């Protein structure tokens, strides 16, 4: 069976989520009635999956040093006006969020790098059905000892049951040239959050930063020798509440 150009375009638009509502339902009906078209649509979807399978790994790679340096200091425009603007904006956003002080962050790229890595790690590993973690929660003591040793600072895997999350386990990752730990938790609806932590670049504390990518939100902070990020698919406000609980759990 051959289809004319308009039909062909409609099928592409359907696969690429460019049509909705009634038109979508019509196309779905057409596909049910026509297995050949349905197979063509499946084939296009499969192409997308193959491409993602081949290239999504790039998302988890650490940024090349030169790139991180360009991001930090590249461009002839001074970063200062941006910093002032960011600080003002952050004050607005953090209003009413007690316990955090707002430090003037001079190295924005560190924040962006770290939060970006946490978001990428979350996007890649939280979607894993069969192998979300390397070491499961039933070996929690081993997990804690192993990851503390690799990260270089002893830490306690936080208990987030009060927040509705149970530990699934964790894995070792890279944060640039440093080892990083990824801890994964799941709630009753099987929604997952991850905690990403590694040795901090400098031994200083910072305020909480929020970074969003698509549906994902990450909250980042530095506390002494460690840098932390909590990531999950939720809006800014609940994520900041959760980050505060995680912060308390690490402190406690």
Partner 1 sequence: MDFRTQLGSELPALRRFARALTGDAALADDLVQDCVERALNKSHLYDPARPLRAWLYAVLRNIYISGLRRSGRASVVKTVDELSDGEGAVPPAQEEHLSAGSVAQALDRLASQHREVIVLVALEEMSYRDVAEILGVPLGTVMSRLSRAREHLRRILEDRGHTVLRRVK
Given the rule CB under 8 A, which residues bind partner 1? Answer: 5, 8-9, 12-13, 16, 18, 39, 42-44, 46-48, 50-61, 63-64, 66-67, 70-71, 74-77, 79, 82-83, 85-86, 89, 108-109, 111-113, 115-116, 119-120, 211-213
CB of 191 to partner 1, least distance (A): 22
By C-beta, is 54 or 129 nearer to partner 1?
A: 54
* In contact, 221 and 209? CB cutoff 8 Å: yes
By C-beta, is 44 or 146 nearer to partner 1?
A: 44
By C-beta, is 10 or 183 nearer to partner 1?
A: 10
CB count in 10 Å sphere of residue 98: 6
194 CA to centre of own chain: 8
CB of 81 to partner 1, least distance (A): 9
By C-beta, is 39 or 145 nearer to partner 1?
A: 39
Cα atoms in the Cβ-side hemisphere of radius 13 Å centred on 243: 32
CB of 146 to partner 1, least distance (A): 27
3-state helix, strand, coil in the chain (%, to 5): 50, 20, 30
* In contact, 159 and 206? CB cutoff 8 Å: no
Q: How far apart are the first and last CA of the chain?
A: 67
CB of 116 to partner 1, least distance (A): 5
């Amino acid at each position: 069976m051959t289809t004319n150009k308009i039909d062909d375009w409609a099928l592409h638009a359907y696969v690429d989520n460019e049509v909705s509502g009634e038109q979508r339902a019509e196309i779905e009906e057409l596909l049910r009635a026509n297995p050949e078209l349905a197979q063509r649509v499946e084939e296009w979807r499969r192409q997308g999956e193959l491409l993602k399978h081949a290239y999504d790994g790039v998302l988890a790679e650490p940024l090349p040093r030169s790139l991180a340096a360009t991001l930090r200091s590249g461009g002839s425009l001074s970063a200062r006006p941006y910093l002032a603007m960011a600080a003002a904006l952050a004050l607005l956003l953090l209003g009413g969020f007690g316990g955090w002080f707002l430090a003037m962050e001079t190295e924005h790229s560190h924040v962006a790098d770290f939060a970006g890595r946490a978001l990428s790690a979350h996007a890649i590993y939280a979607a894993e059905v069969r192998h979300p973690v390397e070491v499961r929660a039933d070996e929690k003591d081993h997990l804690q000892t192993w990851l503390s040793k690799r990260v270089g600072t002893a830490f306690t895997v936080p208990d987030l049951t009060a927040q509705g999350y149970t530990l699934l386990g964790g894995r070792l990752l890279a944060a640039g040239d440093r080892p990083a730990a990824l801890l994964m938790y799941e709630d009753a609806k099987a929604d997952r959050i991850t905690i990403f932590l590694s040795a901090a670049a400098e031994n200083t504390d910072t305020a909480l930063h929020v970074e969003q990518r698509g549906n994902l939100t990450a909250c980042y902070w530095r506390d002494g020798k460690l840098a932390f990020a909590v990531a999950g698919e939720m809006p800014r406000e609940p994520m900041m509440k959760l980050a505060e609980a995680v912060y308390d759990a690490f402190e406690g």
